[in-house]
Amino acid sequence: MALPKLTTPTYELEVPSTDEKIKYRPFLVKEEKILLIALESGESESIINAVKEIVSECTFGKVDLGKIPMFDVEYIFLNIRAKSVGEVSSLRLLCPDDKETYINVDVDLSEILVQVDKGHSPKIELTEEMGMIMTYPNIDSMSGTGITEINATNMLDVIGSCILQIYDKKGEEVYEAKDQTKKELTEFIESLNTKQFQAVQKFFDTMPKLKHVVELDNPKTGVKSKVVLQGLNDFFA
């Protein structure tokens, strides 16, 4: 006689960048095993692959992970995680005032939202005549970097993958990034001066991301501090 099959509940959420409603389910033991193995390895590529597989499976293959921003993937994963192992995540955070005291804090994952900084724009003006239109990094462009981590090693590749268009008002030209080679885009980025590159960095610093503020009360010093948690890394503990 065949064993009975367990029923898994389904839930609904809105994808932050599109407001599209999608259905999802909690991850199962077989999927949690994939995540735990990836976390134990400590390898960013393994963790990203585990997140991709879990989000794809738990959204019934209805989400094209290559076409949505990384912050959407993070938000979907966080909701899946909340319904799977509990909406409260216990984190061990370092008090910023003395940088040596750790405090255990419970964070309600249902309160974590994707937030956008005021003044954020996908349009970057490099000169009076020239600029770029940007898009957001997806999970594939972050492969090999750690979850949402942009560093000196991968910076040029990530920036290049996020350029949608380069426009030239003077020549009335618009250059589609998809029509350029990776080498051409890299050379263009490397030709920016410091001020122009800072404008590019501002785009990434202010782009939408998971963000939550936690108040810590240091038991040793009595000092109250606020710690900003942002990106999936900070909620993975």
Question: 125-180, pLDDT tens digit by residue?
Answer: 999 999 999 999 998 877 654 444 566 567 888 899 999 999 998 778 999 999 99
Looking at the predicted structure, is the pLDDT value of residue 15 above 70?
yes
Please choose, from the candidates 41, 46, 109, 115, the residue with its C-alpha nearest in 3D space to the C-alpha of residue 80.
109
Residue 186 burial by CB count (10 A; 0-12/13-18/19+): exposed, middle or buried?
A: middle
Q: What percent of the chain has pLDDT over 70?
A: 94
**Coil, strand or helix: which one is 208?**
coil
Torsion of CA 62, 12, 30, 105, to 10 degrees: 130
Give the pLDDT mean for 183-200.
95
Q: Where are the domains of the chain?
A: 9-86, 89-113+208-237, 123-206
Distances (CA, A) of 150 to 57, 128, 155, 158: 27, 28, 6, 7
Percent of the chain with pLDDT over 90: 65
3-state helix, strand, coil in the chain (%, to 5): 35, 25, 40
Residue 9 — pLDDT band, cuts 50, 70, 90? very high
Question: What pLDDT does residue 169 have?
Answer: 84
Nearest residue to 200 (alpha-carbon basis) of 210, 211, 212, 188:
188
Q: State pTM to two decimals.
A: 0.85
Q: Residues 68-73: what's their mean pLDDT? A: 93
Cα 48 to Cα 142, 177, 198: the distances in Å are 8, 25, 28
pLDDT at 110: 86
pLDDT (mean) for 110-136:
92
Please state, rounded to an integer, the average pLDDT across all residues of the chain.
Answer: 89
Mean pLDDT, residues 205-231 taken together:
92
Start-end of H helices in 59-210: 70-85, 155-162, 182-190, 194-206
